[in-house]
Amino acid sequence: MQISKSFRLVGAAAFCAAFLLSNTPARAAEDNTAAVRAASNQFYNALSKLCTGDLAPMEALWSHRKDVTYMGPGGGFLVGWDAVRKDWASQAAMKMGGSIKPARVKITAGSDLATVSNTEVGSVAIQGKKKTISLRATSIYRKENGQWKMIGHHTDLIPGMEKK
């Protein structure tokens, strides 16, 4: 039995459309992964600047909404931009120096939310003593007005930084 030429063309067109549509979410996820990776890199650049006392880059990358959360190396569980900003400002005032970089980065990106799990490695000075650090960290990002903004960050504790 011979299949008509028009039937084969319709079948080929349907296959192509299905293939293109099935790959659209994958391409969107790849695009989001690249954008989230850029936001994560921006965070670690801001963190290095924070260690010199410059708070502005950290302020720029965070969402300023009331639902953001932060559980940093000094402990505590902060909710809302005002509380989170205050903690970052106190860290900037410490001028710890050094640098912190991400390692073993794993990004999971959706259309509006993403997580970045990694290790933070580097060194800082705490109470005048240089400390080498290797912390587990998780960051959460949300797309706001087309930009990926941090809405949560959680790390292990650094001995000597715990809040009393």
What is the per-residue pLDDT across 34-43, written as a single tens digit (0 to 9) for each? 999 999 999 9
Q: Which residue has the tokens 């954008």?
A: 35
Is 164 part of any domain?
Answer: no
pLDDT of residue 145: 96
Domain harbouring 130, CATH code: 3.10.450.50
Is 162 part of any domain?
Answer: no
Is 140 part of any domain?
Answer: yes
Is 88 part of any domain?
Answer: yes
Domain range for residue 122? 5-155
Number of domains in the chain: 1
- pTM metric for this prediction: 0.80
Over residues 148-164, mean pLDDT:
86
